[in-house]
Amino acid sequence: MNQCLFCRIAQGELSVPFVWEDEEFVAFRDIDPKAPVHVLVVPRRHVDSIAGLADEEPAYAGRFLQAVVAVARKEALDDPERGFRLVANTGPEGGQSVAHLHAHLLGGRRLAWPPG
């Protein structure tokens, strides 16, 4: 059994409700939300991080971004009057706490910059 937390969630081994899914990606709510909408978009297959993905698999990286936009639309964040923030932490110094590619989709209110 794979011990990667997000692999286990994406494969349905853990009881986490998906807000969106397709054959390659899943999306679920963050357990510690930083905004009214805080959804994680995660590949079903294990990918360590976003680093190098665009060079190694540009088509897959494009589909990942399409999945993010599909989730934003489902959460009604794609309206130009609303918008959203997309964050992909990479590595320990970048704040990546789970070594599996995931994007944080945040919205539902005006988000401050810099975050914090």
Residue 73 neighbours by CB distance under 10 Å: 12
Catalytic site includes residue 38 = no
Catalytic one of 38, 46, 100, 102: 102
Q: What share of the chain is helix, strand, coil (3-state, %, to 5)?
A: 25, 20, 55
Task: Tell me the CB-side half-sphere exposure of residue 1, using CA atoms within 13 A.
Answer: 9
Residues labelled as active-site residues: 102
